[in-house]
Structure 1
Amino acid sequence: MTDKILLFGGSQRTGLEVAKILAGRGDKVRAFVRPSSDRTGLEKLGVEFVTGNVLDGDSVDAAFAQGKVDAVICTIGGSRTEPRPDVEGTQNIIAAALHQGVQRVLLVTAIGAGDSRAALSEHAWKFLGPVMELKTEAEACLTASGLAWTILRPGGMASEPATGTAIKTEDHTAMGMIQRADLAVLVVACLDDAETIGKIYHTIDPGAKEQPPLQQGVQPKAGAEKP
């Protein structure tokens, strides 16, 4: 168990699931949230809040400076209506971690980033290619940082209850679905395991009955969240 975790992207989806696990086992969580974020889920967990914008390097650095941080978990994503924070946000987190002497950083990206381009169908790449290029750059920034990093790449994500059958694999051709609650379990497991430092994992559920919609040639719905 790690004492103090600084969590980026914790107000919803995967980040909130991570916060639930950490708070439930007694870790101290400091959640970095935007002023406009819905904090309802986090407030129920009794976590500490820091308000700011991950695209603002000063506010990110200030989040680290508010007290001891043992590790950082980054689950930031994006929407179709706002600038994506993948690269600049990750760079700001890395810079702040280096400045404040924090070594351990876990980053959630997506299958299709980096050397996993071939795991996506050509149809999927039409819609997700630009996002994957940003996530690829974010991964490259972290792997070159000198920090004790771990990267997790989920496939298609859903928000049903955890199945308990999800896995992490170093097979970068693997593709599949995963529940966010299961992904959160794997994130925390990596946090606890020093053997995962310097590794990139694909996180999937072999028991999932459905493939990600884009692997089936289905266009995402308008307004849907991108990875």
Structure 2
Amino acid sequence: MKQVAIWGGASGLGAAMVEHYHHHGYQVFVIARNPDNNPAIAELGISSFKCDATDLYQVMSTVEALPSSVQHISTMGSFQAQVAVDYIGHRHLVDALEHFGHTRLLLVTSLGCGDSWQYLSERARKGFGAAVREKSLAEAWLQSSALDYTILRPGGLKNGPATQGGQLSQHSEVHGVITRGEVARLSEYLLMTPESIGEVYQCVEPGMSY
């Protein structure tokens, strides 16, 4: 059975990832600060770990407890949180994965990160620019690691299932929105595609509005 560990699986995009991978036959491990925030974890009988990713010891202990063959996806984020997990949490995660010999990580950030910062409007930079900069630092830490990584930058997220209409692109300016279920579907495609290793993608669904 294919295995996937989903970091940040207690809410939002992470919760959508949990349901997608579970219903597509994966053995899922959920890692979150408060797994109980996602009732589906217990309802579906999914293994979970309580872990504050800003604490290196907790991250190390959690990764050590996971099978070394598991593939990892991180949707961790902390918009307006007192202690942002976006950079430091992912730095801890990358370091722990390298230390314990895990190899595959798909990191989900957002449009505006890295070289797509130039396409963010001034309003967006003021509204959530700090979180985007934290996520950009996480991307840079991952890209300088020895892991087989893929980075996925979705547009604005809205609730909803996979639509089959999301589009992946690279090295171009894009704007738009996409459902959380569709991001989950695209993440599985990338996770299973060897050519995605070492690459950065963005995804939106053309024609979709909030």
Is the deviation greater in 151-160 or in 41-50?
41-50
Deviation track 1:156-186 (CA, whole Å, cap 9, x = no partner) reads: 1111333220111113411211111111111
1:207 shift after superposition: 2.5
Percent identical residues: 30
For structure 2, the residue ranges without an aligned partner over 5 or more in a row are none
3-state SS, counterpart of residue 78 of structure 1: coil
Deviation track 1:72-126 (CA, whole Å, cap 9, x = no partner) reads: 1000011324321011100111011001101100100011110001221122112
The residue aligned with 1:24 is 23
The residue aligned with 2:134 is 134
1:32 shift after superposition: 0.9
Give the conservation status (yes or no) of the 8 Å contact 2:79–2:131: no
Is the deviation greater in 115-124 or in 196-205?
115-124
Q: Match for 1:112: what amino acid? A: G
The residue aligned with 1:65 is 64
TM-score by length of structure 1 reads 0.87
Matches within 5 A, 1:64-83: 64-69=63-68, 70-83=70-83
The residue aligned with 2:38 is 39
Counterpart CA distance in 2 for 1:177 and 1:89 is 26
Q: Match for 1:58: what amino acid? A: Y
Counterpart CA distance in 2 for 1:182 and 1:126 is 28
Give the conservation status (yes or no) of the 8 Å contact 1:157–1:177: yes
Matches within 5 A, 1:73-222: 73-210=73-210
Counterpart CA distance in 2 for 1:174 and 1:109 is 15
3-state SS, counterpart of residue 97 of structure 2: helix
Query: CA, structure 1 residues 161+3, in 2 after alignment: closer, same or farther (shift >3 Å)?
Result: closer
The residue aligned with 2:50 is 51
1:37 shift after superposition: 4.4
For structure 1, the residue ranges without an aligned partner over 5 or more in a row are 211-227
TM-score by length of structure 2 reads 0.93
Deviation track 1:44-85 (CA, whole Å, cap 9, x = no partner) reads: 222111112111111111112114142110000113243210
Deviation track 1:190-225 (CA, whole Å, cap 9, x = no partner) reads: 111111111111110013135xxxxxxxxxxxxxxx
3-state SS, counterpart of residue 86 of structure 1: coil
Give the conservation status (yes or no) of the 8 Å contact 1:172–1:201: no
Counterpart CA distance in 1 for 2:65 and 2:77 is 24
The residue aligned with 2:10 is 11
Counterpart CA distance in 2 for 1:112 and 1:79 is 15
3-state SS, counterpart of residue 138 of structure 2: helix
Q: Which has the higher contact order (CA 8 A, sep 6+)?
A: 1
Give the conservation status (yes or no) of the 8 Å contact 2:9–2:31: yes
3-state SS, counterpart of residue 73 of structure 1: strand
